[in-house]
């Protein structure tokens, strides 16, 4: 990798801008921001709809509404009337006359429809089970919905009756794993896709057709699958879906395949990617119906392998990868309206950009957007509409057309609140890390920064470990909340991080405790030497998931720089983790196999083996419904600290999973963390 210092100023608030009427970002501000996402341009090209998530503090939850904007930005965006009953997942009909959307106003999530002005909502589905996601056929005659059903039930009512039946006795016998997954215990249901006929846009009476009858697997996948897991063929006669056959080995294999099935379900699904034993996902048919594009990984069992963009000629079967020499991983993609371009998002050197691929010419993709984090996008006939945020600004909707010299911001949500907040100034830097390779990081000044002063430091360590603390506005680990509380922030994208090439990402597997630790150490040393406002004597390290693991590893192997530590849902005993986590493929890939085949690998960087060296105060946070990193990992950490007499606290969330999602819990999380930091970094 090239060695070069890249100084990228993300926010340009000068130090003199701090004044008494401005304040730094607080946890309440963060939780109160309206969140823009899921933008969809009308087939007519003049308007677009998007999702706006707001916070209902009284009910301690997020609420969703649909907004419409003028693509030309001549009039301000407005909230659609159909939002009064709750609305999300707004989707246009092919002719642009109707908006289909999800709403629970009838008592459970169902599909509804409104005219293009967002009024006169009509319920389209009246199914006895909740609808998880949906797609409308190009010809408008069929709706495919996803529902969780018992595979042996022949009717939806059978699933409903069984789910409501009292369970006496209460015991459940399992004969294979995924007894629990993410934050739910297995109940025997599977996500299946069902076809419903539409007449004049409304669902006809009758039992939907199960397109996955007898299929032992989920589509959309669990726990985070959505409509990108399935798509229609251009003739509206069939769907193509991504799924993994479950069986006994589901928890330790990542072999998702693409299947094609007619909407009549007259024949069983046909496997289109049987030759690839790794992940195949996100099928999308070209507008003219001649090509199929999808994302494919190559290495079975590795969930963070590079996502290659594949294209297949549906007539000849010829298949090829677009830009095989491009060392980035595509996160999402869409065809252009004319089918001549595929637009895809990918992390790239701390940013998440849109790139343009040419299915006909091939070659390397061209970047379309610059700095910042593109969350989602939609191509129009002559423009791209996308949502983008960065370290200093929540997401807004932007337009980029052929006539625009630069992206044009169309929405301005949270403007009044943001006008009262002073954001910390962020800068990207690079240094020589493990093996002399270039490693990137960010430093952020406190919101109340004054030249010549030094400030306590929050050293944030990202999770994954295949992830990144890049140029984005995070709603759990947001650097600006620390800057707003008077802390400087340092974040290092150590080896294992995404967006710097697959080789960089691969470097962490079986090396959790050495290569990334060296990067963190060298990054900290570099930052202290370059930025005089960092107070090395008042610094605490914080991390979640893998970042929490690293906190425990630091406690026994690099504790000297830190006044305190904060560990959220982090690993304590990597050997025990190999037998208790839900998705075994992750633990087995990262450690080179199973715990009984490779025990030495699991013990090589096991924080539990270094407890004797723990001396630094540590705050431990864990959610009881976290089945990815089970509760016992957090309790084990706290037990070790307490038994040794190390100052420590344990924050238990009985109603959270691997993340803290409830607004009030988010406030408690931040209050507890800041009290801990303040306690140990006070002068």
The residue from 373, 610, 658, 670 that is catalytic is 658
For residues 428-442, average pLDDT: 98
- Is residue 237 within 8 A of residue 262, CB to CB? The reply is yes
Q: Which helix (H) or strand (E) holds 495?
A: none
Other CB atoms within a 10 A radius of the CB of residue 20 amount to 5
628 — pLDDT class (breaks 50, 70, 90): very high
Residue 17: pLDDT over 50:
no
Q: Is 70 an active-site residue?
A: no
For residues 41-50, average pLDDT: 96
Residue 18: pLDDT over 60:
no
Q: What is the mean pLDDT of the chain?
A: 95
Residue 423: pLDDT over 50:
yes
For residues 440-447, average pLDDT: 98
Q: Which residue has the tokens 């690099």?
A: 558
Given strand 319-322, what is the order of strands in its sheet?
280-285, 291-296, 308-313, 319-322
For residues 596-621, average pLDDT: 98
Least confident of 6-10, 89-93, 337-341, 501-505: 6-10
With b meaning 16 or more CB within 10 Å and e meaning fewer, what string describes 338-374? ebebbbbbbbbbbbbbbbbbebeeeeebeebbebbbb
Q: Is 404 an active-site residue?
A: no
Reported in sequence order, the residue ranges of 315-425 that DSSP labels E, i.e. its strands, are: 319-322, 330-335, 342-348, 351-357, 366-367, 373-379, 383-390, 393-401, 408-409
Other CB atoms within a 10 A radius of the CB of residue 223 amount to 15
3 — pLDDT class (breaks 50, 70, 90): very low
State CA 354 to chain mean position distance. 17
Residue 8: pLDDT over 60:
no
R_g (Cα) of the chain, nearest Å? 25
Residue 204: pLDDT over 80:
no
For residues 418-437, average pLDDT: 98
pLDDT in tens, 133-174: 999 999 999 999 999 999 999 999 999 999 999 989 999 999
CA angle, residues 79, 387, 40, in degrees to nearest 5: 60
What pLDDT shows up at residue 683? 76
Q: Which residue has the tokens 């070069």?
A: 4
14 — pLDDT class (breaks 50, 70, 90): very low
The residue from 336, 545, 601, 648 that is catalytic is 545
What CA–CA distance (Å, rounded) separates 564 from 153? 54
- Is residue 114 within 8 A of residue 98, CB to CB? The reply is yes
The residue from 51, 210, 448, 626 that is catalytic is 626
Cα first-last separation, the chain: 41
What pLDDT shows up at residue 525? 98
pLDDT in tens, 272-321: 999 999 999 999 999 999 999 999 999 999 999 999 999 999 999 999 99
205 — pLDDT class (breaks 50, 70, 90): low
Report percent pLDDT > 70 for the chain.
96
What pLDDT shows up at residue 203? 66
10 — pLDDT class (breaks 50, 70, 90): very low
Secondary structure (3-state) at 93 = coil
CA distances (Å), origin 74, targets 52, 241, 278:
20, 40, 47
pLDDT in tens, 82-130: 999 999 999 999 999 999 999 999 999 999 999 999 998 999 999 999 9
The contacts of residue 535 (CB under 8 Å, 6+ apart) are 454, 455, 456, 457, 488
pLDDT in tens, 228-270: 999 999 999 999 999 999 999 999 999 999 999 999 999 999 9
Least confident of 1-10, 192-201, 449-458, 616-625: 1-10
What pLDDT shows up at residue 428? 98
pLDDT in tens, 563-572: 999 999 999 9
Say which residue, 403 or 647, is predicted with more confidence.
647
- Is residue 463 within 8 A of residue 544, CB to CB? The reply is yes
Residue 672 CB-density burial (10 A; 0-12 exposed, 13-18 middle, 19+ buried): middle
Q: Tokens in use for 330?
A: 């595509």
* String of DSSP letters for 59-90: TTEEEEEEEEEETT-SS--EE-GGGGG--EEE
Q: Is 626 an active-site residue?
A: yes
What pLDDT shows up at residue 251? 97
For residues 333-355, average pLDDT: 98
Choose among 572, 586, 557: nearest CA to 630: 572
Report percent pLDDT > 90 for the chain.
94
């Amino acid at each position: 990798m090239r060695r070069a210092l890249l100084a990228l100023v993300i926010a340009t608030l000068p130090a003199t801008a701090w004044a008494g009427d401005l304040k730094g970002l607080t946890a309440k501000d963060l939780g109160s921001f309206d969140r823009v996402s899921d933008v969809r341009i009308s087939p007519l090209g003049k308007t677009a709809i998007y999702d706006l998530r707001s916070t209902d503090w009284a009910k301690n939850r997020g609420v969703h509404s649909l907004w419409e904007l003028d693509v030309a930005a001549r009039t301000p965006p407005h909230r659609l009337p159909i939002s009064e009953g709750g609305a999300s997942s707004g989707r246009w009909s092919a002719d642009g006359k109707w908006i289909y959307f999800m709403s629970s106003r009838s008592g459970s999530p169902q599909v509804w429809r409104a005219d293009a002005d967002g009024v006169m909502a009509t319920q389209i589905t009246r199914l006895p089970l909740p609808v998880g996601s949906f797609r409308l056929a190009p010809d408008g005659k069929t709706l495919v919905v996803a529902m969780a059903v018992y595979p042996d039930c022949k009717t939806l009512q059978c699933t409903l009756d069984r789910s409501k039946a009292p369970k006496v006795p209460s015991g459940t016998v399992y004969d294979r794993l995924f007894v629990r997954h993410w934050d739910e215990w297995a109940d025997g249901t599977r996500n299946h896709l069902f076809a419903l006929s539409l007449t004049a846009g409304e669902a006809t009476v009758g039992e939907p057709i199960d397109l996955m009858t007898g299929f032992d697997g989920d589509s959309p996948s669990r726990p985070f699958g959505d409509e990108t897991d399935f798509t229609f063929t251009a003739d509206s006669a069939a769907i193509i879906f991504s799924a993994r056959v479950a069986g006994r080995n589901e928890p330790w294999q990542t072999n998702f395949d693409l299947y094609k099935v007619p909407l009549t379900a007259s024949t069983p699904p046909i496997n289109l990617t049987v030759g690839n034993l790794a992940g195949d996902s996100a099928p999308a048919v070209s507008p003219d119906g001649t090509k199929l594009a999808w994302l494919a990984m190559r290495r079975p069992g590795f969930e963070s392998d590079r996502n290659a963009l594949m294209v297949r000629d549906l007539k000849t079967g010829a298949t090829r990868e677009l830009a095989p020499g491009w060392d980035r991983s595509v996160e999402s993609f869409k065809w252009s309206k004319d089918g001549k371009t595929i637009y895809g998002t990918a992390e790239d050197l701390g940013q998440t950009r849109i790139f343009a691929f040419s299915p006909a010419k091939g070659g390397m993709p061209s970047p379309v957007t610059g700095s910042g984090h593109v969350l989602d996008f939609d191509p129009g006939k002559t423009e791209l509409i996308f949502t983008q945020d960065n370290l200093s600004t929540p997401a807004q909707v932007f337009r980029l057309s052929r006539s625009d010299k630069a992206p044009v911001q169309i929405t301005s949500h949270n403007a009044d609140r943001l006008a009262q907040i002073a954001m910390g100034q962020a800068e990207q830097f690079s240094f020589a890390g493990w093996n002399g390779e270039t490693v990137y990081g960010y430093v952020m000044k406190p919101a109340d920064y004054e030249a010549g002063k030094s400030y306590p430091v929050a050293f944030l360590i990202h999770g994954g470990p295949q992830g990144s603390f890049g140029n984005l506005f995070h709603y759990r680990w947001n650097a600006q909340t620390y800057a707003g509380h008077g802390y400087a922030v340092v974040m290092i994208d150590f080896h294992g991080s995404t967006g710097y090439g697959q080789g960089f990402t691969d470097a962490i597997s079986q090396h959790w405790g050495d290569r990334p630790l060296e990067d963190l150490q060298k990054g900290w040393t570099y930052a202290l030497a370059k930025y005089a406002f960092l107070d090395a004597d008042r610094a605490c390290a914080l991390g979640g998931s893998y970042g929490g693991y690293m906190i425990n590893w630091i406690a026994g192997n690099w504790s000297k720089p830190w006044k305190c530590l904060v560990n959220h849902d982090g690993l304590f005993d990597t050997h025990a983790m190999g037998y208790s986590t839900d998705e075994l493929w992750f633990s087995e890939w990262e450690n080179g196999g199973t715990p009984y085949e490779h025990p030495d690998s699991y013990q090589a960087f096991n924080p539990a083996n270094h407890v004797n060296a723990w001396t630094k105060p540590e705050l431990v946070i864990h959610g009881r419904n976290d089945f990815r990193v089970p509760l016992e990992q957090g309790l084990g950490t706290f037990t070790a600290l307490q038994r040794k007499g190390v100052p420590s606290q344990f924050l238990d969330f009985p109603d959270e999973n691997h993340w803290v999602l409830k607004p009030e819990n988010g406030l408690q999380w931040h209050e507890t963390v800041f009290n801990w930091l303040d306690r140990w970094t006070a002068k």
